Structure 1
Amino acid sequence: MSQDHSAALLNLAYGYVLAQALAVAARLRLADRLQAGPRSAQDLARQAGVETAPLTRLLRLLASREIFAEQDGLTFVNTPASEALIGDDSIRDAVALAGHSIFWEPVGKLADSLRTGGPSFDAIFGCGFFDYLARDAAARDVFNAGMHRNSVAENVALARGYPFERFSCVADVGGGRGGFLLEILKAHSQLRGVLFDSSEVIDEACVLYGEIPSQRYQVVGGNFFESVPVAADAILLKRVLHDWDDQQCIRILRNCARAMRPQDTLVVFDAVLEHEGDPGGKKISDVLLLTVLRGRERTLDDFQRIFAEAGLSLVSARPTGTGLFAIEGTLRESSAS
């Protein structure tokens, strides 16, 4: 192995230090604090409630990667890279989530997941991922904020780019607080929508309230492992199936199929693993899911199989330009009859 390869692998092996430094910078909102111009490390430390000397060391590490820059000793400024962390509409909350203990600690026990085949999260936190979020409000807030930031631009692009105009009513199953459905209804004024998720999630902060006329949508609480009591000519599952193992996915899909008529369409928006030329991000997500949940990213063959076991036919799959595919399914003839 060449020296170049050795150095690259060692840098990668210690990349967790840089990743955590970046997450801490996001959590402390350092880029926001530098938005008005150069600040001393002492001023930043005082505002952020931390010690000056260790903060200086963190900033110098990030500056070595052009995330912040040091001027005249102990004075720091933003760079184009750190400016991507400024403001509530930036990736700041997504970066903070990436370094939070609910992801960080399970990945640190990756070897345990390889031995057991299950998520290391459960042994660390004493329960499953979503059960933990239900009981820890602070972790839930970090997770919701990070996932919201991850999906804002994606929701807009999908709402405008996918041909929703061929439907009259869409049901977003597992749609959280309604961000995706909101963008769909804003982009397609003729559409009506149904938001389906657990009552706890919906009641927390449904974004539809006050944004869309109430006659254009319905909010339904429930558990998609038990039933999907919605009536719509398109049922949507966006970034839902990758959270669950195959048998759990089949239960969700079967319940969706039971709610469908022969003319209805199921649309799954999810990442698709490709064996060649696949960007690494999907495979990073796949290993993260291994440690945190019982889910996984899937190939098209995987989707074909779980659709079939749920009584559905996979009729098309095409990229959307967002990193997700639109995977369409209909009832199989035997299921529809």
Structure 2
Amino acid sequence: MSASFASALDAAREAAALQHYPQGALYVVATPIGNLADITLRALHVLQMADTVACEDTRHTQSMLRAYGIDKSASQLLAVHQHNEAEAAENVVLRLQQGQRVAYVSDAGTPGVSDPGARLVVAVQSAGLRAVPLPGASSITTALSVAGAVAHSHEHGCFVFAGFLPVKNAERATVVQQQLANEPRCVVLLEAPHRISELAQALAVLGERPVTLARELTKQFEEVTTQPAHALTAWLAGSPQRSRGEFVVLLHPVPVAADDSESLRVLRLLLQELPLKTAVRLAADISGASRNVLYDTALGWKRNGTGQSGAGDDAAD
């Protein structure tokens, strides 16, 4: 055990021991996605107390537990992964019926989202038993929190989780072009390092749509960047390090198409006298329209030669 976690175990007992932890219940425990310090006190307490720890990889979980100073015998660790989840769930249900407390952890993050666990929970609930959530780390919400991709002020201030796209290039391209390109909300994708370049190439058809790449989250070489979709391949090629680690990929919301409203009339007038960014900011303040929508509209006018700008370069703003 790292000495730095000795006090954490004491704190976990102090903070969580007086709470009620029913027997015969499955505890779905979120674990760190990279940084071991991102464990919760309640998770530490439940992992110490559990009669059985069900997990994706027993060796990985044993190593994690020992880092925290939690000792479990081999018989207390039960493999439950995507290839045996249905069968292993029967074993878990049997242990719960015997009155055991069973904690379930995936290799990293919150179980049952992009990792195994959903079928296990269904089996437990179908048997009339209880599943207790212990919230914690999640790569999805971690990336969303620093991407600025879900704004309540935006008409599409929500997100959808798409997970991993198809492995085959043709199928992946079809999903991107026929589904993601037309999805106005923020879309959350996951990707492995050996396929991130192929995903970037497939997303290039989305053009200027902002995309956030978040890699190695919570780890030493964590990196978060937002690029136009067409620039992702070039960014990845900028350094070999950039293609390493697990990725969360966020497609930012599609700006709502503007119509011939008063906000557009104001924008056109301002563009005759002011730099683009200044004109957009003032037009949004005057009309109450979305600044992002007005900015994209002004850029479209500029590209098509249909807008007027009397103040030249934006750099002066």
TM-score by structure 1 length?
0.29
Higher helix share: 1
Q: Which has the larger radius of gyration?
A: 2
